Amino acid sequence: MFTGANCRQVSPGGKYFPQHSAVEHLASFAQAVNQGHGDYTTIFLSEIPQLFRRGFKPLDVAILQVSPPDKHGFCSMGVSVDVSRAAAQCAKILVAVLNPQMPVTHGDSAIHISHFDRVMHNDTPLHCMPPRPATAACSDIGRLIAENLVQDGATLQMGIGTIPDATLACLGGHKNLGVHTEMFSDGIIDLMRKGVVNNSSKTLNCGTSVTAFLVGTQALYDFVDHNPAVRVKDVAYTNDTNIIEQEHKVTAINSCIEVDLTGQAVSDSIGTRIYSGVGGQVDFLRGAGRCDRGVPILALPSTTSKGDSRIVPTLKAGGGVVSTRSHVHYIVTEHGIAHLFGKSMRERAAALIAVAHPDHREDLERQGFEQGVLQRAWGGFSQ
């Protein structure tokens, strides 16, 4: 098996093919799987290092893009330690691509030049992914989360996308926030510079923001370069539920594709069509759920781009339930917050209908009655 961890595709001549955005890579991988030209392994991001370390996926070659060695001979994996560290430890042949554009980060990113079997050189700027403009719905969701669910002193985990970015943009008035996440983006920079994120209330790694990888603009890569306030660590650590639950007031903000009236959440497929991997959503929802005063959040716009409801009576056939109804505590749309923890099926359905798009609530109520999720004794929206 070959892994290109932290590295772009390399031609036989040692040159790099043009880099593409993470979204473009995701779309091309999903297309290959859905067309039958590729396959998909469903696994929690936190468990991928186990595939290498326990020999389930033997690695022949691992290519890592790293910073040039310092005066002591240590390179840095820079923006991506996540599964790269396990790959480096387990591959039969380890290849370094030395790139002076790679920032030097603290945490688990150091690797000595002597560990590499081959060395290549490259001076291509790292791929940058600027934040996408937030839709009105995503902005409203971010505001609702920031104003109602993020407490002062909370430890934040954010997935990638416009909703986490919109939430971060609304946190300027908070105090003593911390970061323990799998992914770190530009939205945290200003909060750290202003002292809103100072990690002073964290139980572990007090004073530092912890992540497994970084995706963003050159400003982000410049910010983390030689910055001891940011640690980039093995994803088997960052996404370990036992570690997450020890942190202070963990607030986990993730997204999903659709939710049924009982709270089951689909995140990796649209029906039978694969859309993405499961990432660390369940790791952080469970970790936050077990944390003292933790807040596990799934957020999604109430409708698709075509106007279809994303809160549905039953999931699309073949849809992958990534987060079970027992994992889900809060569902947030632009229309409000549904608190599902400890609620009965009827109460869950009523709460979810209340945050669905108004155009779809009557139909959801009707189908809820037909399926028996709602009881006739409940008054419903018609009254």
Last residue of a domain, one of 71, 95, 121: 121
Of 72, 74, 94, the closest CA to residue 84 belongs to 94
Amino acid at the residue 25: H
pTM: 0.88
338 close to 355: Cβ distance less than 8 angstroms? yes
Amino acid at the residue 7: C
Residue 13 has pLDDT above 90, yes or no: no
Higher-confidence residue of 56 and 10: namely: 56
Q: Are residues 107 and 156 in the same domain?
A: no
Amino acid at the residue 50: Q
pLDDT, average across residues 63-75: 98
- Asked whether residue 128 is domain-assigned, the answer is no
- Asked whether residue 343 is domain-assigned, the answer is yes
Q: Are residues 101 and 148 in the same domain?
A: no
Q: Sorting pLDDT into bands at 50, 70 and 90, what band is 319?
A: confident
- Asked whether residue 287 is domain-assigned, the answer is yes
Last residue of a domain, one of 72, 90, 121: 121
CATH code of residue 88: 3.40.1080.10
pLDDT digits (tens, 9 = 90+) for 253-308: 998 889 999 999 988 767 767 666 677 889 999 999 999 999 999 999 999 999 99
Of 47, 41, 32, 111, the closest CA to residue 82 belongs to 47
Q: Sorting pLDDT into bands at 50, 70 and 90, what band is 41?
A: confident
Q: Are residues 91 and 209 in the same domain?
A: no
Q: Are residues 217 and 286 in the same domain?
A: yes
Q: Are residues 233 and 357 in the same domain?
A: yes
First to last CA, the chain: 61
Q: Are residues 76 and 31 in the same domain?
A: yes
pLDDT digits (tens, 9 = 90+) for 234-252: 999 999 999 999 998 999 9
- Asked whether residue 379 is domain-assigned, the answer is no
Structure tokens at 212: 């497994």
Q: Are residues 346 and 243 in the same domain?
A: yes
* Number of other residues whose CB lies within 10 A of the CB of residue 106: 17
381 close to 359: Cβ distance less than 8 angstroms? no
Q: Are residues 51 and 86 in the same domain?
A: yes
- Asked whether residue 319 is domain-assigned, the answer is yes
CATH code of residue 174: 3.40.1080.20
Q: Are residues 241 and 349 in the same domain?
A: yes
What are the φ/ψ torsions at residue 18 (nearest 5 degrees)?
-55, 140
Rounded-to-integer distance, Cα 331 and Cα 169, Å: 20
Domain holding 62, by residue range, is: 2-121
Edge-to-edge strands of the sheet including 106-107? Answer: 106-107, 230-232, 209-211
Rounded-to-integer distance, Cα 218 and Cα 128, Å: 6
DSSP secondary structure of 165-185 = HHHHHT-TT--SBEEB-SEE-
Residue 137 has pLDDT above 50, yes or no: yes
Give 3-state DSSP helix, strand, coil % of the chain, rounded to 5.
30, 20, 50
- Asked whether residue 182 is domain-assigned, the answer is yes
Residue 40 has pLDDT above 50, yes or no: yes
Residue with structure tokens 């008035």?
173
User: How many domains is the chain built from?
Assistant: 2
336 close to 354: Cβ distance less than 8 angstroms? yes
Does 347 participate in catalysis according to the annotation?
no
The one catalytic residue among 182, 247, 258, 334: 182
User: What is the reported pLDDT for 78?
Assistant: 97
- Asked whether residue 359 is domain-assigned, the answer is yes
- Asked whether residue 240 is domain-assigned, the answer is yes
Q: Are residues 184 and 292 in the same domain?
A: yes
The SS3 of residue 260 is strand
Q: Are residues 115 and 190 in the same domain?
A: no
Q: Are residues 197 and 76 in the same domain?
A: no
